[in-house]
Amino acid sequence: MKSAIKKVHKHVRLDGGKLKRVQKALGARTETEAIERALDRVLSEQEKDEIVRKANERFFQSGAKIEDVFEKL
């Protein structure tokens, strides 16, 4: 079950130009929406990085050998 989202009110100092570029890049209607979307992307990327890190760890622990059949490595 999803827990209720708790919104908090924060006062931050941000680069206005950067915020506008992010807003445009993400297609956000408001600055708040832009920040929310950017935070969601960062969290999503972190989750993907963790999955890849664990997969790499399992691969190396498996002892599988990589053969460079094209002699490029």
Cα gap 27→21, rounded to integer Å: 10
Domain membership of residue 54 (yes or no) is yes
Q: Is residue 45 part of a domain?
A: yes
- Farthest CA pair distance, the chain: 57
Residue 10 covered by a domain? no
Q: Is the pLDDT assigned to residue 1 strictly greater than 60?
A: no
Asked whether residue 5 is assigned to any structural domain, the reply reads: no
CA–CA distance, 20 with 23 (Å, rounded to integer): 5
Confidence of residue 73 (pLDDT cuts 50, 70, 90): low
Q: Which pLDDT belongs to residue 42?
A: 98
In a domain, 67, yes or no: no
Mean pLDDT of 28-50: 97
15-49 burial, b for 16+ CB within 10 Å, e for fewer? eeeeeeebbeeeebeeeeebbebbeeeeeeeeeee
Tell me if 70 is assigned to some domain. no
* Location of structure tokens 């963790």: 50
Span 11-39, average pLDDT: 97
**Which range of residues forms the domain containing residue 25?**
16-60
Of the pLDDT bands very low, low, confident and very high (cuts 50, 70, 90), residue 2 is low
Structural domains counted in the chain: 1
